[in-house]
């Protein structure tokens, strides 16, 4: 079996919604598409799609396999175009959107370094803590932090976002220090509107744990919750990159060191895998290197 072709078939079936539509796109017979899909499932040892006469849907294994398949196909495209773009300096402008915390902690430094390295480039940044329509808002690249990415999006996984639960020394002196995950239910937890608003999840020594949380402040910008935590307002669940310096200076205290909040993936989302500009490809490769820096990928930082 040509595994790369099988992956292309699998992705096409998901994106087009049926075997027949995928066959038309790939210029194959429907029987050949079905054969590739069956051989891919046999090779993986798991069913990837629930199929009926009227509809199809991804299995849990299929959802994970789809992201991996897209990544492998994107890498394959990059490899095939290396010779075409060898020695070609990236040029042009990118319009990028991402969250405030990611821009402040990682993106701005990365953009500064990238623009200095490639003077023929320009970047426009739109800071939004919401999902955008790439086509309608003319976005070349959206950076999203999530574990529930729409499987129909064209995306590349760039790295992981680690988080830490923290509070100011003043808050802990007044309200006590939580020693177990369950203790958070009795604290004023500052909640983020787009993630974990009422349920915080952790991986601990004995496996996963979760706790229902509540508090007197919720916001759609994590930076606002960080500011309130620094003022002593409550316990906050923050990206590691946002609080690393505050932890080192003692302005915040990391809590529950034996329990790591659930990791989120950082994705680059763009309109199409085909005909990707050298500029976008170059910037994505650059971001992968920056986002896998040990400062952000290792929890021992705290």
Rounded distance, CA 253 to CA 275, Å? 47
Number of domains in the chain: 3
- pLDDT value, residue 94: 92
- The whole-number pLDDT of residue 273 equals 65
* Same domain (yes/no): 48, 172: no
pLDDT of residue 88: 67
What are the φ and ψ backbone dihedral angles of 127, each rounded to 5 degrees?
A: -90, 115
Domain that holds residue 149: 89-157+265-293
Which CATH number covers residue 211? 3.40.190.290
Residue that is last in its domain, among 84, 100, 120: 84
**Is residue 204 a part of any domain in this protein?**
yes
Q: Which of these three, 50, 84, 118, is where a domain ends?
A: 84
Residue 300 domain-assigned?
no
Q: Is the same domain home to 287 and 143? A: yes
Please give the radius of gyration of the chain, using alpha carbons only, rounded to the nearest integer.
22
Residues 6 or more apart whose CB falls under 8 angstroms from that of 42 comprise none
67 sits in which H/E element: helix 60-85
Q: What gap in Å lies between CA 297 and CA 211, rounded to an integer? A: 25
Q: How far apart are CA 176 and CA 186, in angstroms?
A: 10
- Among 17, 10, 23, smallest CA distance to 54 is for 17
- At 300 the pLDDT is 43
CATH code (residue 139) = 3.40.190.10
Sheet of strand 92-98, all strands in order from the earlier edge strand to the far edge: 121-127, 92-98, 141-146, 264-270, 154-161
User: Are 169 and 244 in the same domain?
Assistant: yes
Q: Does 302 fall in a domain? A: no
Query: Where do the DSSP E strands lie in the chain?
Result: 49-51, 56-58, 92-98, 121-127, 141-146, 154-161, 163-167, 189-192, 199-204, 207-212, 218-219, 235-239, 253-254, 260-261, 264-270
Domain boundary among 67, 84, 101: 84
In this predicted structure, what is the pLDDT of residue 82?
Answer: 52
**Same domain flag for 80 and 95:** no
Same domain flag for 29 and 76:
yes
Question: pLDDT at position 169, please?
Answer: 98
Where is 184: in which H helix or E strand?
none
Q: Are residues 174 and 230 in the same domain?
A: yes
Q: What are phi and psi of 171, to 5 degrees?
A: -65, -45
pLDDT means over runs of 10, the chain (302 residues): 83 87 85 88 88 80 87 70 58 90 87 93 84 76 86 82 95 97 97 80 93 94 93 95 94 96 89 75 87 54 43
Q: Which residues touch 188 (CB under 8 Å, ≥6 apart)?
A: 175, 215, 216, 217, 233, 234, 235
Task: Say whether pTM exceeds 0.75.
Answer: no
Whether residue 167 sits in one domain with residue 30: no
Q: Are residues 60 and 8 in the same domain?
A: yes
Pairing of strands 207-212, 199-204: antiparallel
pLDDT at residue number 80: 55
Residue 170 inside a domain? The answer is yes
Question: Are 110 and 199 within one domain?
Answer: no
């Amino acid at each position: 079996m040509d595994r790369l072709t099988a992956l292309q078939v699998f992705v096409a079936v998901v994106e087009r919604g049926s075997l027949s539509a995928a066959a038309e796109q790939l210029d194959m017979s429907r029987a050949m598409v079905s054969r590739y899909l069956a051989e891919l499932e046999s090779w993986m040892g798991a069913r990837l799609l629930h199929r009926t006469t009227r509809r199809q849907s991804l299995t849990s294994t299929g959802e994970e396999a789809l992201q991996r398949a897209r990544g492998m196909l994107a890498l394959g495209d990059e490899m095939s175009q290396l010779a075409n773009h060898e020695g070609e300096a990236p040029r042009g402008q990118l319009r990028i959107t991402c969250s405030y915390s990611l821009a402040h902690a990682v993106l701005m430094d990365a953009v500064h370094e990238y623009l200095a390295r490639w003077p023929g480039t320009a970047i426009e940044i739109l800071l939004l803590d919401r999902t955008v329509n790439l086509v309608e808002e003319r976005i070349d690249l959206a950076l999203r932090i999530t574990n529930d990415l729409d499987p129909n999006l064209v995306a590349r996984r760039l790295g992981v976002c680690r988080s830490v639960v923290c509070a100011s020394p003043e808050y802990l002196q007044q309200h006590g220090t939580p020693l177990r995950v369950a203790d958070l239910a009795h604290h004023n937890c500052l909640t983020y509107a787009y993630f974990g608003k009422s349920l915080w999840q952790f991986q601990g020594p004995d496996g996963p744990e979760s706790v229902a949380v509540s508090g007197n402040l919720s916001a759609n910008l994590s930076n606002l919750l960080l500011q309130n935590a620094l003022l002593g307002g409550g316990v906050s669940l923050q990206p590691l990159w946002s609080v690393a310096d505050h932890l080192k200076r003692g302005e915040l205290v990391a809590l529950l060191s034996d329990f790591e909040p659930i990791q989120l993936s950082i994705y680059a989302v763009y309109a199409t895998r085909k005909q990707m500009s050298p500029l976008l490809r170059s910037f994505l490769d650059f971001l992968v290197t920056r986002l896998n820096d040990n400062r952000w990928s290792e929890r021992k930082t705290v």
